[in-house]
Amino acid sequence: LAPGAFWLGTAAWLHHFNAQQRRFARFPHVPLDPSVSEHWVVKTVYVDAAGEIWMGTNGSGLCCFERGTKAFTYYHYDAKDPRSLSSNSVWSICEDRHGDLWLGTFGGGVNRFDRKSRTFTRYQHDPENPNSLSNDAVYSVYADTNGNVWIGTWGSGLNRLEVATARYSHYTEREGLPDNFVKGILPDEHGNLWLSTDKGLSRFNPQSGTFKNFTVQDGLLSNQFLSGAYCKGTAGRLFFGGAGGAIAFFPDSIRAHPYVPPVVLTRFKVFDKPVALARALFALEEIQLSYRQNFFSFEFVALDYTVPHQNQYAYMLEGVDPDWINSGTRRYASYTNVDPGEYTFRVKGANSDGVWNTAGASIKIFVAPPFWKTWWFRLLAAAALGVIAFALYQYRVRRLLEMERLRTRIAADLHDEIAGNLSSIAMFGKIVQDESAAAGAPNLAHTEMLQRIIALSQESVIAIREIIWAIDPKPETIYDLLMRVRDFAVNACRAQNVSLQFELLPETQLPHKNLSPEQRKHLWLLLKEAINNALKHSGGTELELRALYESGYLTISLIDNGLGMNETGNTPRFSGRGLGTMQSRAAQLHGALEIFPHPTGGTAVVLTAKI
């Protein structure tokens, strides 16, 4: 710009003021909708490095003023073109180091304008993405020399956009900003940013992320500044316009107060009630609390009285807070539902010029656990549980030993008494039968009765011996059981004059673990029933018994060459009750029982069980 030349935007015109001639020239623009008064308003005027004049309007988009032709080129929002301007309300304009223009729109976020392609790239708020612009209503934009664009928003604080990585940083009142309505952004010669807000002026240091705030008490005309009312003079002087008028100053003329204020803890409360302590709080190193006193708070102060109400504070409770909490001018911190444990409360403070006492003050807090959470109680509880578990184990072992002794005694008694008596009855009956036959002309009824007594006695002896075997705790493997089955089958086939073929794997190929009493009982009774049915009812002359073991499954096949199954698919020798009992025993073994006609004739009974 020529010395003494000014470009001004008003409610309807673009104006040029020649200070030497003290004359105004005005250039009317064509609003998007002339019937809407806001579309005439010029919100910002910017002269880029090439000397071009850019104008942002409050509804008519972006305008470029051609000095030679005195004509305007317009850029508007187009809903069908995502590379167009995002909003027609352009409130701020700046230029980055690459010559691109950055536009802050009120409602459409930020736009980067590539003057070569005449296209726009949009940077907008995404509610689903925390790494996005915090608000699409933008008051001000500024592009620094490090590739960052700083964005002042309407109610959402200050944003920093790292253009190369598209990463955002957000600064609000929580970080020390005086107000979240950032109206203007101007840099000084030291890299600081001066921010005008609705609650005063703030100097922001991007390197440290700290704010120094100024209000009417520091000499401002008003705490409330206006949007678009800011500029930087050629000599580095900053100008801001507000509700009370305009202020102008050189940033270097505002010097910080170097005093580092001491920080002191002044009061400690539990459940919002002051606690009487043995000594002054600042003289204590530790506070002991019970687990019931888990709601406590601290009050603190920085001892600088220049502008005490502008002193700044930050605090943290180590073990609870992951980082420092900036409380601004608030001088207290409270914590609720603090778990038992050891903590350290730390607080640091700064004077009104932002000079921090980083050492600050600290105190240890010990919240004692309830007795049931102490190490000695847990140790005692673990020991008690161990004693109880050991006692239960001993009781279980004793019960099992008692049951084993009882079963052994019962088996011995059955063998010695009942089985012996039944054997004696059978023997005496046989003697009587033999002597009666020797005496000649035996009584037929007596003979039949004696034969019946002998048969029942013999069957009872066999049954008693099987019961003794079933309850005897003596361990038995699959191989032992199959040998017992083989012996039974050999005797039974010999009595019925039936040929027996028995195929069994070697003992080394069978598992060596012992069968449970239930397993051996169900296996024995099921196989015995199957063998008896084949011998008594099949009418066959041959019986084949095979036993295989593979992948944890025992498969036993019993095949005869008898009558086989009838046309309905039923085997006459298996009654409904007998077959149901066999199926039930197979289920108890977690296995399956199949009965089907064998291809070569006769019937096949196949038991498969997981052993």
CA-nearest of 387, 472, 458 to 423 is: 458
Rounded mean pLDDT, 406-422: 58
Q: Which of 135-139, 451-455, 509-513 has maximum average pLDDT?
A: 135-139
Q: Which range among 91-105, 361-375, 398-412 shows the weakest confidence by mean pLDDT?
A: 398-412
Domain 263-371 has CATH 3.40.50.720: no
Condensed to tens digits (0 to 9), the pLDDT of residues 176-202 reads 899 999 999 999 999 999 999 999 999
Averaged pLDDT, 160-173: 96
Q: How confident is the model at residue 429 (pLDDT cuts 50, 70, 90)?
A: low
Report phi then psi at 405, rounded to 5: -65, -40
- Per-residue pLDDT of 293-320, as tens digits, reads 989 999 999 999 888 888 999 999 999 9
Instruction: Report the 3 state secondary structure along 539-559.
Output: CCCEEEEEEEEECCEEEEEEE
Q: What is the mean pLDDT of residues 404-410?
A: 66
Would the CATH topology of 263-371 be identical to that of 475-611? no
Measure the CA–CA gap between 546 and 558, rounded to whole angstroms.
Answer: 7
Average pLDDT over every residue of 342-358: 92
Of the segments 170-184, 277-291, 432-446, 508-522, which one has the largest average pLDDT value?
170-184
pLDDT given for residue 198 in this prediction: 96
CA angle in degrees (0–180, nearest 5) for 606-609-611: 140
Q: What single string gives the DSSP state of each residue in 409-448?
A: HHHHHIIIIIIHHHHHHHHHHHHHHHHHHHHSS--HHHHH
Residue 454 backbone dihedrals phi, psi, to 5 degrees:
-65, -45
CA angle 326, 290, 320 (to 5 degrees): 25
Per-residue pLDDT tens digits for 200-216: 999 999 999 988 889 98
Mean pLDDT of 71-77: 93
> When comparing pLDDT for 428 and 134, which is higher?
134
Cβ count near 555 (within 10 Å): 14
Q: Residues 111, 63: contact at Cβ < 8 Å?
A: no
End-to-end CA distance of the chain: 100
Of the chain, the percentage scoring pLDDT greater than 70 comes to 85
In 3-state terms, what secondary structure has residue 312?
strand
- pLDDT at position 2 is 62
* Range with the poorest average pLDDT among 89-98, 214-223, 434-443: 434-443
Nearest alpha-carbon partner for 83 in 36, 118, 133:
118
Mean pLDDT, range 562-583, rounded to an integer:
67
Average pLDDT over residues 79-107: 95
- Residue 17, pLDDT > 60, answer yes
Domain 5-253, second-level architecture:
7 Propeller (2.130)
Q: Which residue has the higher pLDDT, 454 or 475?
A: 475
Print burial letters for 235-256: b (CB count within 10 Å at least 16), e (below 16). eeebebbbeeeebeeebeebee
What is the domain partition of the chain in residue ranges?
5-253, 263-371, 374-474, 475-611
DSSP tag of 282? G
Q: 429 or 581, which is more confident?
A: 581
d(CA 38, CA 55): 15
Q: Residue 521: phi, psi to the nearest 5?
A: -65, -50
Question: Would you mind telling me the total number of residues written for the chain in this entry?
Answer: 611
pLDDT at residue 464, as a whole number: 64
Q: Closest Cα partner for 151 from 61, 91, 98?
A: 91
421, with CB counted inside 10 A (0-12, 13-18, 19+), is middle
Query: Has domain 475-611 been given CATH number 3.40.718.10?
Result: no
- Stretch (H or E) spanning 257: none
Percent of the chain scoring above 90 in pLDDT: 48
Phi-psi region of 496 (alpha: psi -120 to 50; beta: other; left: phi over 0): alpha
pLDDT at res. 282: 85
